[in-house]
Amino acid sequence: MKPQCRQAVERAAGRTLTQAEIKKIEDRISGTMRNLARTDPAGWRAKGADQRVLDAATQAMADIQAEAALKVTRAGMQIIKTAAMESRVVDLMASYAEGRNKALVHEMDNTHSYIEGVKRETMGNLMDLLDAVNSKQGASAGRKTMMVLFDAENPQMSRDLATEIFENAAGSTGNALAKAGAKAWLESIEGMRQRFNAGGGDVGRLDYGYLPQPHDQGRVRGDASPAARDKWVQSIMPQLDRGRYLQEDGARLTDQQLAGVLERAWETIATGGLNKMEPGKFSGSGARANAGSETRQIHFKDAGAYLQYMGKYGGGSMYDAMLGHIGGLSRDIGLVERYGPNPAQQMRLQMDLAEKADTGVKRAFGLRPESYWDLLNGKTGMAENGNIAQVAQDLRNIQVFGKLAGAVISSVTDVGSYFVTTGFNKLPYWEALKNIGKQLDGDTRDFLTMHGVIAETMVSNLNRWSGDNIKNTWSGRLANSTMKLSLMNAWTDTLRRSFAMTMMGGLAKMSKTEWAALTEWDRSHLGRKGITADDWDVIRAGQLTQFNGADFLTPEAIRASADPRAGEVVAKVLGLITDESEYAVINPDLATRAMASGGGLSRGTVRGELARSVMQFKSFPIAMISRHWRRMMEAPQGLDGAPGIVGGRYGAMGVGPVTVNRLMYGAAMMTSLTALGAVAFQTKQIVQGKDPVDMTTPKFWTRALAQGGGMGIVGDFIFTDPTENPGDATANAIKNVAGPTVGSAFDIGYKLGVENIYEAAKGKDTHLAAESIRVGRSHLPYVNLWYAKAALDHAGLHALQENLSPGYLGRMQQRARRDWDQQYWWEPGNGGPDRAPDLTAVGGK
């Protein structure tokens, strides 16, 4: 800054400015000059240097004033949100009759559902995008197969869709599907941008269509040398829109100047932002409302350049990036709408208040509120080291495609929790049953999708964005493909969507009744999920959606009220429906995810990844406890209109009836899950070529209890006999406690390595080849699919095992007789079955 300019600025400020302050002013004016140059390049170049500085200073002053006004507005919004949150927390303390810490956790549970509601509504508006993504138009036969098995992209559609988005759906590609998909995307993210800004945000809009840029930190960083940086800079520079990189006078940056800009961008990406950290300076979370307000540094010249970069340096596919952007922005919207422009500050205040208020136990489900908050705000899902996170995720994905190919048989027990949750919500059982069959109808599925009831497989990236994402790597695609071919995805989607459909109908019926006329139970249940009397008035002011002659409460129905708060109410209702569907067909809740991450430890850390590996496959049994058993204990008693399994007014007469009602809930769960566990266990026997086992023994029903999952993780530890599985009991116990990844390492290192070395030293037959095949098979995709496993075994694997380890098949049959006094209806090693399964064996001999 020139001396005379500095003097003028200091006179205006009324004091002497530091060099840092002067530098900040210079940077602000320089940035404003470049922005103005981009707005009107020819007009800007025609101005003199002094006029440019004056115009930039004037615009910068106007921007600063607007920012100051926004700061005041945000402060007022924060006060209002603090008061609203205080009211919610106090209500939850009264509703659950517990301390402030636990009430704060319930509040975060509701916010988690609210965020899910925002996300689901947005996805419901993206049907045209989903149609484009799933279109096989122009794809080869091989590519179509890849799309079905591995969710691979259709290259032509990706190219056309990206082009239409960059060009704001101008229709230049001639691809009607791509144009419609681009329009749906652009309208949806613009609506989300405006909604976020209404909550106190300040995100601008690009003049070309927005596509997120997820950089793969490891691929960008390379070996972290100057040569790697220079390679990235030289690779990306030809792909950029040079018209967006200008000097203060409007002239384009030279190659050398642009390289300097890109080198700084590389440092930020390669270090995960650590290059911006100032040692000793507080680096806590800033206002959430500032998220996304940073100026984008990388502007691609066209869609082709963007896709080329994504293929070389991107983190996942373009679609992964788009879904991830929706997930992240949904979180930002949910947090600012619930907690104000600065949610981090809000939660620090609330946690301090909770710490001060509670003098007894301060943990909820074994965890402090901070663990839930780290998960809710996305901190837990951010990888501190991308390479560590990816390796650990690959190892867990291998366990998924190697060991869960038959999980759909075990999932028959979902029917039990489905109908218990139906009863808890006072929904009609017959309607819940009919709606399962209706999911086979394409029109019904489309109706649900457009109203926010999205198939889990369509939003799996979103659900796992704060944790595991299993789709965008080689291992992830194999894991997802295996789960798809095992029919697990179809089973889960069918049950969850059918329950959501039933609940939309139930809420539609309820909405015809005024809040005051609802039963005590209904008001309590809705209130615990965050729905208030005012929200109910908004719901009632809308117009129910009709489909196939029935009424449903949909986002469209609520928005028909034209109430300013309709968006918030939609998020609450969709969040409620989604959360209850995840009780019906159990999905990990916030508490379970916090536990599975070691109490909110970040990805990409040794401790965080070890915790995730140990907890793999334990999330669902833990969720049984954190969802159903906690619900059983916390359900209010003595309320009029309560379902029988919880307890109506008679429950208030004394301890006895209250206990009985809780026992009824537990009995309903345990009876149904144990019975279905018996079905699952016997089905597994038949699929494996064995006769059903004797059901008259206590041992069988103990095993059915464990199979049903009603006891949660406790049942897995207590009721599963480690001696029944191949290998010794100690090894199986280690796998059960330490997780499948550690168990696999034990198998490879100890069982295949150490044991065989000692056996060889003693002159014993090691059976190394046969054991290697067994271990290898448990880590391969597809070969353990429940409907193909027996065929593969009898087609050659049994013979191979017998050849490598003579007596192998005999030992299999001996183990079946020893454990269950069981025979094979399809003898091991035989090409075809000898007889039909002996179903009379269920009654014993």
Q: Taken in order 394, 396, 399, 400, is the CA torsion positive or negative? A: negative
Q: Cα(437)–Cα(32) distance, rounded to whole angstroms?
A: 60
Instruction: Report if residue 669 sits inside a domain.
Output: no
Closest-CA residue to 538 (of 516, 515, 517, 518): 515
3-state secondary structure (DSSP) of residue 571? helix
Q: Cα(657)–Cα(647) distance, rounded to whole angstroms?
A: 8
The reported pLDDT for the residue numbered 284 is 44
The reported pLDDT for the residue numbered 26 is 80
Between CA 658 and CA 661, with CA 660 as vertex, the angle to 5 degrees is: 65
The reported pLDDT for the residue numbered 463 is 35
Whether the per-residue pLDDT at 183 is higher than 90: the answer is: yes
Q: Cα(729)–Cα(721) distance, rounded to whole angstroms?
A: 8
Whether the per-residue pLDDT at 498 is higher than 60: the answer is: yes
Average pLDDT over residues 676-699: 93
* Type of residue numbered 414: D
How much of the chain exceeds pLDDT 90, in percent?
A: 47
pLDDT per residue over 186-237, tens digit each? 999 999 999 999 998 888 888 888 999 888 877 888 877 889 899 999 999 9
This prediction has a pTM of 0.90
pLDDT per residue over 344-354, tens digit each? 999 999 999 99
Return the H-helix or E-strand segment holding 531.
none
The reported pLDDT for the residue numbered 804 is 83
Average pLDDT over residues 120-147: 91
CB-based burial label for 361 (10 Å; 0-12, 13-18, 19+): exposed
Average pLDDT over residues 399-427: 93
Q: How many domains does the chain have?
A: 3
Q: Cα(526)–Cα(783) distance, rounded to whole angstroms?
A: 46
**Do both 695 and 837 map to the same domain?**
yes
pLDDT per residue over 448-481, tens digit each? 999 999 887 776 543 322 233 334 678 888 888 8
The reported pLDDT for the residue numbered 757 is 85
Domain limits at 232?
Answer: 215-278+286-314
pLDDT per residue over 415-425, tens digit each? 999 999 999 99
Q: Taken in order 220, 221, 225, 229, is the CA torsion positive or negative? A: positive
Q: How far is CA 193 from CA 159, 291, 559, 565, 609, in A?
A: 25, 11, 18, 17, 34
Instruction: Report if residue 717 sits inside a domain.
Output: yes
Instruction: Report if residue 206 sits inside a domain.
Output: no
The reported pLDDT for the residue numbered 650 is 47
What are the structure tokens assigned to 192, written together? Answer: 């989300």
pLDDT per residue over 541-572, tens digit each? 999 999 999 999 999 999 999 999 999 999 99
Instruction: Report if residue 147 sits inside a domain.
Output: no
CB 248 within 8 A of CB 26: no
Q: Cα(691)–Cα(837) distance, rounded to whole angstroms?
A: 5
What are the structure tokens assigned to 513, written together? Answer: 């009744």
Instruction: Report if residue 247 sits inside a domain.
Output: yes
pLDDT band at 262 (very low <50, low <70, confident <90, very high): very high
**Do both 93 and 229 map to the same domain?**
no
pLDDT per residue over 77-108, tens digit each? 999 999 999 999 999 999 888 889 999 999 99
- 44, 71, 97 - which closes a domain: 97
Q: Spell out where 533-607 has E strands.
A: 545-547, 550-552
CB atoms within 10 A of CB 7: 11
CB atoms within 10 A of CB 8: 12
- In DSSP terms, 545 is beta-bridged to 552
CB atoms within 10 A of CB 762: 8
The reported pLDDT for the residue numbered 383 is 80
Q: Cα(662)–Cα(651) distance, rounded to whole angstroms?
A: 10
Higher pLDDT, 235 or 149: 235
Closest-CA residue to 554 (of 574, 540, 534): 574
The reported pLDDT for the residue numbered 238 is 94
pLDDT per residue over 759-811, tens digit each? 788 888 777 887 888 888 889 999 999 998 888 888 888 888 888 888 888 88
Whether the per-residue pLDDT at 303 is higher than 80: the answer is: yes
For every residue of 450-493, DSSP letters joined together read: HTT---GGGSHHHHTTTS---SSSHHHHHHHHHHHHTTHHHHHH
How much of the chain exceeds pLDDT 70, in percent?
A: 88
- In DSSP terms, 300 is beta-bridged to 240
The reported pLDDT for the residue numbered 10 is 65
Q: Cα(775)–Cα(779) distance, rounded to whole angstroms?
A: 7
Whether the per-residue pLDDT at 12 is higher than 70: the answer is: no
Residues near 789 by Cβ (< 8 Å), separated by ≥ 6?
Answer: 405, 406, 687, 688, 783
What are the structure tokens assigned to 342, written together? Answer: 């600065």
pLDDT band at 604 (very low <50, low <70, confident <90, very high): confident
The reported pLDDT for the residue numbered 513 is 96
CB-based burial label for 10 (10 Å; 0-12, 13-18, 19+): middle
pLDDT per residue over 620-673, tens digit each? 888 998 999 999 888 887 788 888 776 655 444 444 445 557 788 888 999 999
Q: Cα(697)–Cα(678) distance, rounded to whole angstroms?
A: 12
Look at the block and give the residue holding tokens 């969720």. Answer: 623
Q: Cα(43)–Cα(36) distance, rounded to whole angstroms?
A: 10
- 97, 131, 158 - which closes a domain: 97
The reported pLDDT for the residue numbered 495 is 96
Whole-number average pLDDT of the chain: 86
Higher pLDDT, 720 or 399: 399
The reported pLDDT for the residue numbered 415 is 95
| Candidate from 202-206, 333-337, 607-611, 839-843 with smallest mean pLDDT | 202-206
Average pLDDT over residues 394-399: 92
Between CA 453 and CA 459, with CA 456 as vertex, the angle to 5 degrees is: 90
Instruction: Report if residue 652 sits inside a domain.
Output: no
For every residue of 138-207, DSSP letters joined together read: T--HHHHHHHHHH----HHHHHHHHHHHHTTS--TT--HHHHHHHHHHHHHHHHHHHHHHHTT------S
pLDDT per residue over 713-755, tens digit each? 555 555 555 545 555 556 666 767 788 888 888 888 877 888 8
The reported pLDDT for the residue numbered 63 is 84
The reported pLDDT for the residue numbered 461 is 41
Higher pLDDT, 826 or 297: 826
pLDDT band at 42 (very low <50, low <70, confident <90, very high): confident
Instruction: Report if residue 588 sits inside a domain.
Output: no
CB 317 within 8 A of CB 363: no
**Do both 835 and 705 map to the same domain?**
yes
CB atoms within 10 A of CB 451: 24
Residues in the chain: 845
The reported pLDDT for the residue numbered 336 is 95
pLDDT per residue over 687-697, tens digit each? 999 999 999 99
- In DSSP terms, 246 is beta-bridged to 252
Average pLDDT over residues 128-152: 88
Whether the per-residue pLDDT at 712 is higher than 60: the answer is: no
- 77, 97, 117 - which closes a domain: 97
The reported pLDDT for the residue numbered 468 is 37
Instruction: Report if residue 293 sits inside a domain.
Output: yes
